Structure 1
Amino acid sequence: MKRKLLLFLVFFLALNHFMLSQTITKIGYKEMGKASYYPDDRDGIITRGGVKFSKDSMYVAHKYFPFGSIIKVRNIDNGKTVLLKVVDRPYTSSRIIDMTYEAAQRLDIIGETESMVEVILKDTPATLREKRKLQQQAKAKAKEENNSIDIDKTLFTEVGTYTLRGDKKSIEGVGIQFATSPDIEYVLSEGKKIESNYLISSIFVQTGWSNGQKVYRLLIGCFSSSDAAQPLLQLFQKGGYSDCFEKKHHNN
C-alpha cells in the first residue's frame, strides 16, 4: 500500500512538473479560473522570471505563458481589466494567476481570498520583439521619407541663393558650407537632415558654376561676420563634419 502511495506521489509530482514546464504561446489564448494576489512581504524578492518583485508593479504569475508575456486580465464580477507582465509562476495549482497588490486594486479584488477572472494572452516576448522591429523599420522609413524633398529642380536653375523649398532669397553675410555637389537631390536631402537633427531653419542652397559644371552648395546659417559663424562651424566640426568651412552668400 505504501509503495502504491509512493508511486502515485512520484507520478503526481512528475506530472505537475511537466505541466508547469509547458508554455503556451498562441496569441489570443483564453482561459478562466481563480486568481489571487501576493502578500506584502513579497516585496524585493527575485521572481522565477528573474525580475525583482514590487507590490506596486503590474506583474503576474501564470502557469504556462512565457516570462515577459503580456496578458489581459478581466474581473468576471465587475468587468474591470488590466494588462500585466508575466514574471513568475503561481504557488498553487488551484489558481491560474497570482498578481501584485496594485493589479488587484485596479481589478477591485482587494479583500477577496480568490476571485474569478478571464485571462487572454496578448503578446509573448517573440511577438513583442517583432512589433519593436516593425516599429523601428516604420520610424526609419518615415525618417527617410521626411529627409527626401519632392521639389521641382528647375526652381534652382538660376544662379543665386534659395531656401530648401526652392524660394529664391537675397541673403547677405556668411554661412557654413556643408556640402557641394552637382546633384541637387543629394544637397536637398543633406539639408533636410541638418534641419531635422540640429533644428536649424536657416538653410540655403547656393547655385553656381565650378570648372564649367553647375554645382549646388549647401550653406547653413546667415551670419553678419566670420566671428559670429565660428560657434556653429565648431559644432559641426566636433560632430564629425570636418570639411565644413565659411562661405559668403551671393545673390548673382
Structure 2
Amino acid sequence: MTDAAALLSAFDAQARPAEWEFPEGDATVDRDGPLFRVSWPNRRGFVAGPPDLGVEGDALDELIARQRDFFTARRQSAEWKTWSHDRPADLPDRLVAAGFTPEDTETVVIGLAEDMVAPVPLDGIVLRETRHWADIQRLVAASSEAFGKDVSFLIDYLIAKKDDPDTVIVVAEAEGRIVSSARLEIVPETDFCGLWGGSTLREWRGRGIYRALVAHRARVALARGRKYLQVDASEDSRPILERLGFVPVTTTTGFVWRPR
C-alpha cells in the first residue's frame, strides 16, 4: 500500500482518531456532535473530528461557536485541526469568521517504515537514544538555534515524555555537542508512528543526519510492529522526505482560538 489514496484512508481510519482516543496526560475528552474536544487543566485545548463532519451552514457556525465559548469560559486557547480533504470545504473560512487564526499549513506525508531503514554513513557523527534530563536541555537549546526561535517550551513536554515507552528521543552528537535531534512517537493501537521535532544546526546540514535519523526511527518502528511513518512536514523538510519515498496525502492547518 503505497498510493496516496490508500495511505490517506489508513491515516483517516487510524492515526486521526488516536488524537482523541488516546490523549496525553490528564486530558478530558468531550463529544459535541461529530466533534471531539480535548481539554487539559493547564495547556491549549484541541478540537478535531472525522473527515466529513456532516454539518453545514448555520448548524456548523453554531458548532464552532460552542467550542469557542467552551474554551473562552476556561480562559484557554484551543487549536481546531483541519485537513484539506475534509468536508465541508468551507470549514476554514467559517473558523476565520468566528475569530480563529490559521497557523502554518503543513503537508502530511506517509511512508512505509520498511522502505526507510537503509543505513546512512555518517562521518564523525554518532546517533544515540536518550532519556536523560541533561540531554533534553541540550537538544532543546540546539533546536532553538536551528529553528532560529526559542523552543524552550519543549523542555517540559519532553521531560514528561522521557519515560514514555511509546516515545523515542534520538540525538546526533559531533565534536562534543548535540547537532541534531528528533523523536518517534508510536500511535497506540495503530500501525502508525509519528516523526516529530527534527532539527539540525545549520553548519551540520547536508551531511545525511536527517536521513540517518529517519532510518534509525524506521528501524525502531519496525521492531515495535509498526508499518507506517507519518510526518506533518514543513516546506523545508517535505522535499527531503519525498526523496526518501514519503508520499504527500493531504495538508493540515491548525486554527487557533485565543480568548481576549
Normalized against structure 1, the TM-score is what?
0.23
Q: Which structure's CA Rg is the greater one?
A: 1
More RCO (CA 8 Å, sep 6+): 2
In the superposition, the TM-score normalised over structure 2's length comes to 0.22
